[in-house]
Structure 1
């Protein structure tokens, strides 16, 4: 293998593939990135048995071939290079030259590297930015508890009757749902995947600048795929599914309040400074004000007030401050609307958009904390 490539393009291509490198490789070859040069393209791939990441870039190929080298080391080296890079194989070594700088890396046995998973057939196409925004909003609600793997995933569902893709996640204390438009490829495309939230979020961020990305929902292999303009990722889908959320989201409310999102976020952050451990923050809604409190009489206390607009009876409710702030940050609207049933039942949060909630708006269902009398 022998080629020349721009140093910045090489660094970006390596960085994308390196996202799939395992933190603790089960065998030495799994710590490697596979480089393949052919047909004017350099393809770089990483794999950890669950996730594969492959990126390609144009290169001046003088001699085609493949090689496997230490991924972490290659990533560190390519980030440090500032000129065009020449790559060449010298027996069992890969040589990188950039101006007067020269690195020589030992290669790993290519024949021991596993075959990468096949990218699933295309199910539909979605905007890279829209998908990245939705993944960032929804992933906040996924659980970090690996003992309950189903709750660590983001559910991705293609609507059978409309060109809509819906993302959802829950950790049992909040449930986030957002739909976005997409171009479905075929009417009989598989309709669902449960994808690890962290992997989905990292991949979606990396593809955010792509005008379009192709989504491949799992077929028989149980593999989810995302393909961008110069990259593709496959992820082993999680077995199982989230609870059916439609029945959980209330449609009738006893009270509705609107609050400026930035002002409430700042106030909750200030008051939460005294909310140690699992201490909740308490929100008291009146006709034109929400009072935010935390702390107890025998400990530090804090209180703040923000203007609000309440329709319905005055009420008090308490939330985990982290979960509340996650929701406020994810909603991304100037004004947040709180939709209450009773103080002991989940509250629905979303942006205040007037009478009609947009189909692609985030809906964030938050369980209140029960207060002792």
Structure 2
């Protein structure tokens, strides 16, 4: 095999497939990138059996062939080469020689006969959305997935299509993040749970452009994302997702409208008095025309008033400040509406169209000294 690349194109492609290379595995071949040159195209593939990525690479084929190279060594070499032409050549002993200007590396490879290729997926049911929209949806929900695997479903996100609307949901037991995106065309109803790892890695390689599209194909046990000469195939999480509709309510006793940035800055200042190990709530005291936000920790105390518009009852309620900040940071609206039921029920941050809904559970606080 003899191939010629531009270093920048090669480095970009390697960084894409590296996201599907496992850090630990009992199958050493999976820690390799499979390089294949045939049919007038060069293809890189990596697969950790849960997430697989295949990308077409710009380059010239002087001799066809294939080889599996250790992903970390190959990636480190390519990344540190000068921005020039890169030549990759293999011999009959599966040794790859990588040459760029005056630098020359020889590394052992494998034939790749036992490499785990991506399974072939039937491409029937699919939706098409912009790469920008998908990246934004992931950014605006991924923070609410659970980091531990006590409940596997909580480590993924629900992708549900109903009535031509894509609903994406994440939750970790303390909060729920929901984004709704209307779809064009007639889309079949679907309901799958996608691993958070898949979505995190996809968000890093999406272009984020409105004009660049991504096709999402639904298949049994898999979800396939196709965009920009790249295929990302993810195994789905088995199980029935939580019935979140039962957790959502349009009833409320108090509604406030507040400047999002002002509220966020205020909470940010309050957290200066909270050590990372502390679980100190921020207390919100809502009265007519204003909201007082206060915190009292071993380091000190702080209180600040913010102008608001309020309808309904006064309320005093406490929250984990991180949960509030996480939601506020991914909302783009200048002003937001927050709905409260009582001091022990979750609050809802949502817009009028319900394009986003963030539910946050309160924490118990002592409200005797107001």
Q: Give the structure-1-normalised TM-score.
A: 0.91
Q: Are the structure 2 counterparts of residues 237 and 310 from structure 1 closer, same or farther at C-alpha, using a change threshold of 3 Å?
A: same
- Distance in 2 between residues matched to 1:345 and 1:76, nearest whole Å: 51
2:135–2:208 CA contact under 8 A, matched in 1? no
1:123–1:184 CA contact under 8 A, matched in 2? no
- Distance in 2 between residues matched to 1:178 and 1:56, nearest whole Å: 32
- Distance in 2 between residues matched to 1:109 and 1:275, nearest whole Å: 55
Please list the CA deviations of residues 213-243 of structure 1 after superposition, one character each: whole Å capped at 9, or x if unmatched. Answer: 0101232xx0111111210111110111321
Aligned to 2:242: 243
Secondary structure at the aligned position of 1:294 is classed as strand
Please list the CA deviations of residues 1-46 of structure 1 after superposition, one character each: whole Å capped at 9, or x if unmatched. Answer: 1111111111111110010010112222111000111233211111
Shift of 1:90: 2.2
- Which residue among 110, 125, 130 is the counterpart of 1:127? 130
Please list the CA deviations of residues 262-287 of structure 1 after superposition, one character each: whole Å capped at 9, or x if unmatched. Answer: 11111101112223421111111222
- Distance in 1 between residues matched to 2:8 and 2:133, nearest whole Å: 26
- Distance in 1 between residues matched to 2:296 and 2:80, nearest whole Å: 49
Q: Are the structure 2 counterparts of residues 218 and 294 from structure 1 closer, same or farther at C-alpha, using a change threshold of 3 Å?
A: farther
Please list the CA deviations of residues 194-215 of structure 1 after superposition, one character each: whole Å capped at 9, or x if unmatched. Answer: 0111321221331243611010
Q: Are the structure 2 counterparts of residues 223 and 184 from structure 1 closer, same or farther at C-alpha, using a change threshold of 3 Å?
A: farther
Aligned to 1:22: 22
Shift of 1:299: 5.5
Aligned to 1:285: 286
Q: Are the structure 2 counterparts of residues 310 and 280 from structure 1 closer, same or farther at C-alpha, using a change threshold of 3 Å?
A: same
Of stretches 199-208 and 26-35 in structure 1, the one that deviates more from structure 2 is: 199-208
1:126–1:181 CA contact under 8 A, matched in 2? no
The answer as to 2:341 corresponding to 1:341 is yes
- Which residue among 353, 365, 370 is the counterpart of 2:359? 365
2:164–2:186 CA contact under 8 A, matched in 1? no
Aligned to 1:165: 166
Secondary structure at the aligned position of 2:20 is classed as coil
1:120–1:223 CA contact under 8 A, matched in 2? no
Gaps of 5+ in 2: none
- Distance in 2 between residues matched to 1:321 and 1:202, nearest whole Å: 27
Q: Are the structure 2 counterparts of residues 318 and 243 from structure 1 closer, same or farther at C-alpha, using a change threshold of 3 Å?
A: same
Q: Give the structure-2-normalised TM-score.
A: 0.92
Q: What is the aligned-residue RMSD (CA, Å)?
A: 1.8
2:274–2:299 CA contact under 8 A, matched in 1? no
Shift of 1:131: 0.8
- Distance in 2 between residues matched to 1:40 and 1:185, nearest whole Å: 36
Secondary structure at the aligned position of 1:292 is classed as strand
1:128–1:209 CA contact under 8 A, matched in 2? yes
The answer as to 2:304 corresponding to 1:309 is no
The answer as to 2:42 corresponding to 1:42 is yes
Secondary structure at the aligned position of 1:112 is classed as coil
- Which residue among 129, 150, 153 is the counterpart of 2:153? 150
Shift of 1:185: 6.9
- Distance in 1 between residues matched to 2:66 and 2:333, nearest whole Å: 49
Matches within 5 A, 1:131-210: 131-159=134-162, 162-183=163-184, 187=188, 191-209=190-208
Shift of 1:186: 5.8
Aligned to 1:212: 213
Shift of 1:372: 3.7
Secondary structure at the aligned position of 2:293 is classed as strand
- Distance in 1 between residues matched to 2:233 and 2:5, nearest whole Å: 26
Of stretches 243-252 and 116-125 in structure 1, the one that deviates more from structure 2 is: 116-125
- Distance in 1 between residues matched to 2:264 and 2:285, nearest whole Å: 15
- Distance in 2 between residues matched to 1:178 and 1:112, nearest whole Å: 41
Gaps of 5+ in 1: 352-356
Shift of 1:109: 4.1
